[in-house]
Amino acid sequence: MILEHTKKRVAAVLESVEGLKQSEFPYSHSRIAAELIETKFKKLQTIIEKVSPGTSSSLVLNTCRTAFEQLFTYVPFLGFILRSTNVRNAFEVYPPLLRLAKSILGTDMKLVVSSEWDYSPYVYPLIQDLPGFVLIGLPAPESANPLLLPLAGHELGHSVWVSQPFSVDYERQIHDLVLQEITEKRWNEYKDLYPGFTKEHYLNNDIVARPIWLTAYTWALLQTEEIFCDFFGIRLFSESYLHAFEYLLSPGFAGIRSVRYPNIARRVSYFTKAAEEMEAVVPENFTESFIAENEPQEPMTNLLVSTADAVSGTLITKLIELIQEFAKRKNILLKDVNKVAEVREGLNKVIPTAKAYSLTDILNAGWECYLDPHLWENVSQIKKEDRDRVLKDLILKSLEVSEAYERLRAAYDY
Amino acid sequence: MACVEKDIVGNKALRVLDPDLPLLATEAAIDIDNMLSNRSKDVTAIHKLAELLKNSVKVNSAGPPHSLMDPATLTILTEAVAHAAGGKNEMEELLSEAVKIGTSLSSEDPMKNPKELKRAMEFCIALAAAVAAYRKSIRDLRPMHPFRK
């Protein structure tokens, strides 16, 4: 019966994809993503069809479990793709964001911009599941807010991390640092909590000791990737990334911190360090905008996560250098204060840009206006309650105008 | 056939987060089962998995084999090998077993040694299970909405 259920569940997904493909896609990458998932489920269907009545029950169970895992992995992607067609999204942001992403990840990359009914910037920890795709989503109520576009920098960071060979070097470094932390710096704590193991068990690859340090290793690796992505966001979008982060995620929840990120106090202190190195200005009272999180009380989890924290913390300077070098190699421009001022001058006069500016310059100018309490005080036609809406529209229009100029520049090469 | 498979897999090694790995391990297990029961002789998935294994463990004629995998993948692989090899828990032994399984899977005529092939099937099942469990553990680290249970 379980096999029949599995077959029907997979068929139902394929039917949903078929329906999804009939949607009116604003750009082709959403459709391509849907087709890729369709291919995966057709393959899964073929594999399931190979199971015969004589197949052992353990093998049937294994096949059904694999199918089950695939459903959990890919069905949320389908929802994400469907929502990318919704007019609540600001389609104006897509072309400049795609242009930026291609300049970083190569012209073959695919981008899907969508929204999520979950109040956090969308994070796909298993971005490897759709190779070559970058998926960027914001909470649905904010999905048309261009001021939050800098958070896309974090998501682009994930794609850079998984696609670049340096992530493999970091895996090795983290492996060594975790073992060093356990056997040298924190040995007494580990000895007390795991009394059956000697240092040699950890250092000599004992398979019973591996699950202990592998947990700390995995968390340290995930934390390092998240820190990299935050720094990448700052490097791409300067302080507008910090403003967007504060807007969407402050003050955070009180309670136990997530193990896959540094705790918020550390994360914010890392932001500050990276911002200093990347010519970004940290917003006033930025640190105070976030509520401190609690560490896990359970002693083993506490020890393992503090090991991961220590390891990821030692890599901060290297990560900043890595991103600076990567950005230089990819010709990613820093925010240009003069151009930000030019865009801002136009916005102050309720005029969108009239020539090509980088996404970073437009968004930083937008944030400066948003944070200016005196913006349009003397413009009687704009009521105070309409200010944000008008500003967002102007930013979106500026993005469109800039994109038009970029295309003309490409066409006429001027 | 072997050449075609080489083109597909190339020099790709085992990676626990490789999205194709759970399906490949599952398909290889089914294909072995079908082969053992004389239901089919499809070796495509079996050979692809063998190639991944071959690219993941370096064999030294002078010394024990050693891993070319990241720590998480190595742990998953050795767990799967331990399941199929029963009773072994030294890393070197397990990697040697992985090489044997890889050799068995890459044979042009895997049915020459049905006992080894059955063991390789157990390995494939255990690998698919371990990969799924690891992927779930990573997915579960995503912060959940505070009111979602």
Pairing of strands B57-58, A133-139: unpaired
A55 and A132 belong to one structural domain: yes
- Determine, yes or no, domain membership for B90: yes
| Long-range Cβ pairs for the range B82-88 (8 Å, 24+) | B82/A207, B83/B122, B83/B123, B83/B126, B84/B119, B84/B120, B84/B122, B84/B123, B84/B126, B85/B119
Do the beta carbons of residue A86 and residue A113 sit within 8 Å?
no
A277 CB contacts (<8 Å, ≥6 apart)? A320, A324
Tell me whether A44 touches chain B (CB under 8 Å): yes
- Determine, yes or no, domain membership for B130: yes
Q: Final residue of a domain: which of A300, A329, A358?
A: A329
Question: Which residues in chain A are contacts of B25 at CB distance < 8 A?
Answer: 66
A400 burial (CB, 10 Å; 0-12 / 13-18 / 19+) is middle
- Determine, yes or no, domain membership for A368: yes
Q: Which of residues 256-295 of A touch B (CB under 8 A)?
A: 258-261
Q: How many alpha carbons lie under 13 Å from residue B92 in its C-beta half-sphere?
A: 4
| Among A336, A345, A315, A331, CA closest to A225 | A315
Q: What's the total number of domains in chain A?
A: 3
pLDDT surpassing 70 at residue B5: no
Distance CA A5, CA A356 (A): 55
Tens-digit pLDDT profile for residues A209-267: 888 999 999 999 999 999 999 999 999 999 999 999 999 999 988 788 999 999 999 99
The boundaries of the domain holding residue B96 are 2-139
Which residue type sits at A140? A
A227 and A343 belong to one structural domain: no
Mean pLDDT, chain A, whole residue set: 93
- Determine, yes or no, domain membership for A148: no
Which chain A residue lies closest to B77 (C-alpha atoms)? A207
Q: Final residue of a domain: which of A329, A353, A375?
A: A329
A297 and A322 belong to one structural domain: yes
φ, ψ (nearest 5 deg) of residue A14: -60, -35
- Determine, yes or no, domain membership for B144: no
- Determine, yes or no, domain membership for A159: no
Distance CA B99, CA A97 (A): 46
- Determine, yes or no, domain membership for A151: no
Q: Final residue of a domain: which of A99, A114, A143?
A: A143
Q: CB–CB of A171 and B125 under 8 A?
A: no
A254 CB contacts (<8 Å, ≥6 apart)? A291, A292, A293, A294
Distance CA A362, CA A376 (A): 18
pLDDT surpassing 80 at residue B83: yes
| A244, A279, A160, A151 alpha-carbon torsion, rounded to 10° | 0
**What is the reported pTM?**
0.89
Top residue of B18, B32, B33, B81 to mutate, by most chain A CBs within 10 Å, is B33
A304 and A380 belong to one structural domain: no
The count of residues in chain A is 414
Q: What's the total number of domains in chain B?
A: 1
A130 and A268 belong to one structural domain: no
Helix H or strand E encompassing A116: strand A110-116
Tens-digit pLDDT profile for residues A372-401: 999 999 999 999 999 999 999 999 999 999
Lowest model confidence (mean pLDDT) among A193-207, A218-232, B84-98, B127-141? B84-98
Tell me whether B93 touches chain A (CB under 8 Å): no
Q: B89 or B6: whose pLDDT is higher?
A: B89
| Among B14, B9, B11, B21, CA closest to B135 | B21
The boundaries of the domain holding residue A43 are 2-143
Instruction: Count A/B contacts: CB-CB distance under 8 Å.
Output: 118
* Residue B72 to chain A, least CA–CA distance (Å): 7
- Determine, yes or no, domain membership for B147: no
